[in-house]
Amino acid sequence: MNKKLIGFKINFIKNIGEMSDEKAQMFTKEFAKELPGKNNTPLGLLLTKGVDNTTVKSLFITPTQITYSQDGTGAICNNTYEIKNFFKRICDKLFLNYKCQATCSFAYIIDCDDIKKTSENILKMEYKDENLISGVGIKLLLNSSKLVGEFRYEPYISDNKYFFTCLDCQLVGANDLNEVLKESEVVLNDIFEDLITRIYHKISPVGEAKHE
């Protein structure tokens, strides 16, 4: 199974107060070297940087949330140092503690030689017009002691040589920065990876062949 990370987001739920012009200027200056792109939106301050023409790194600061994300084929989700550094610098500037809760999202694309065959393995039903359905996906609702959220595994609309898989969830029980980062790694490395592997080998023609 060949898969590639194309998106990662961790959203810290943290009340930092009104995003005044002074506060926006302070954060723009603070992160100017790492994130030179700036966009003041109605919701808050968006700071960005392009990486290797493949990925956009972003920091979105609103009155109630601090969101770090990477989108693109060069996305890296294990840069714990940078995530922690950005969050701490924002809190330190405002004399806030590191208490927070969080949601997170991970997205991969996975090679697929036969979208139609894989979709048939998911649906397992016959239809009078065999060409009507060209792709089928899976959506799982998740609820455990670690997270609440949803998992999707579906044909990738942008390129039918791939399946797209995504996990969006709220971390349960994590109440500060270190706990959030620790639990997000567990969600990615244990829960998400396990779901991908199990579903891939269950429905993929390649996965089927390996289990015959």
Q: Which residues of the chain have pLDDT under 70?
A: 124-131, 206-212
pLDDT value at position 166? 96
pLDDT value at position 211? 45
pLDDT value at position 204? 77
Give the whole-number percent of the chain exceeding pLDDT 70: 91
**Cα–Cα distance measured from residue 185 to residue 114, given in angstroms and rounded to the nearest whole number:** 31
Mean pLDDT, the chain, integer: 88
How large is the greatest C-alpha to C-alpha distance in the chain, in angstroms? 65
**Cα–Cα distance measured from residue 131 to residue 115, given in angstroms and rounded to the nearest whole number:** 13
**Cα dihedral 137→138→139→145 (10° resolution):** -150
pLDDT value at position 206? 59
Residue 33 near residue 57, CB atoms below 8 Å: no
pLDDT value at position 209? 46
pLDDT value at position 125? 59
pLDDT value at position 130? 67
- pTM for the full predicted model: 0.87
pLDDT digits (tens, 9 = 90+) for 170-196: 999 888 999 999 999 989 989 999 999
The residue ranges of every structural domain in the chain are 3-114+138-200
Strands (DSSP E) contained in 65-146 are 65-72, 101-111, 138-143
